[in-house]
A and B are shown apart, each in its own frame.
Chain A
């Protein structure tokens, strides 16, 4: 692995289904983030983790949950998907807090029908 990876690349999901988006980094970065990107809007932070074992809520956390059991992995779970969660989801990581550049994964395009 080189950098940060996400899976799946894209997914079509029925409303009401549970879905976990995976994110793994091999840079030993402390901080990790989940964003959603919608047309005409800036990236919006869903959840973040400043270090393994801790997580925090971002701007739009409702309907999403995360965990950070170790340094490398930061999965995002949609407990019961709704059409408004149709978006492109980016995972990112940085050495530490918000004054370090963030490195982004390739994104997951999710469609909820």
Chain B
């Protein structure tokens, strides 16, 4: 079967760095997405990785290792507004997104 695993919840301190991991087992791979979802709102796109390595975009970076079925999202200089759920999704062989359950990130002052 297809499976995306990510931690249910993480807590971090304002100004710090946090890494959210995602491991996947899917039928085929056409890229991995990270989305941010604030409570009661729609998911919004953060990043897309299809090749191995690190993609940096401001305070957010995303890493992919296809051989390990592994990705992480790195958030630097955490701000209170970063409190949200972070969703990992993989595009499978049919180009459909398979979603993880999301990681709820709590930022403390």
- Are the C-beta atoms of B4 and A42 separated by less than 8 Å? yes
Q: How far is the CB of B37 from chain A (nearest CB, A)?
A: 9
Task: Report the interface size for chain B: residues with CB under 8 A from the other chain.
Answer: 24
Contacts of B25-53 to chain A: CB distance below 8 A: 30-31, 33, 41-45, 48, 50
* Number of residue pairs spanning A and B whose beta carbons lie under 8 angstroms apart: 53
Take A104-B44, A105-B42, A106-B42 as given contacts and tell me if A98 and B91 are in contact as well, using a CB distance cutoff of 8 Å.
Answer: yes
Interface size class of A (residues with CB under 8 A): 20 to 34
> Chain B at the A interface: mostly helix, strand, loop or mixed?
loop
Chain A residue with Cβ nearest B88 = A42
Q: How far is the CB of B67 from chain A (nearest CB, A)?
A: 20
CA of A2 to CA of B65 in the docked complex: distance in angstroms? 36
> Chain A at the B interface: mostly helix, strand, loop or mixed?
loop
Contacts of A38-71 to chain B: CB distance below 8 A: 40-45, 48, 58
Take A42-B99, A58-B96 as given contacts and tell me if A99 and B45 are in contact as well, using a CB distance cutoff of 8 Å.
Answer: no
Which A residues are closer than 8 A to B by beta carbons? 35, 40-45, 48, 58, 90, 97-99, 101-107
- New A-B contacts (18) at CB < 8 Å, excluding given A98-B31, A99-B95, A101-B33: A35-B99, A40-B101, A41-B101, A42-B89, A42-B98, A42-B100, A42-B101, A42-B102, A43-B87, A90-B42, A98-B92, A99-B31, A99-B48, A99-B50, A102-B45, A104-B44, A106-B42, A107-B42
Which B residues are closer than 8 A to A by beta carbons? 4, 30-31, 33, 41-45, 48, 50, 87, 89, 91-92, 94-102
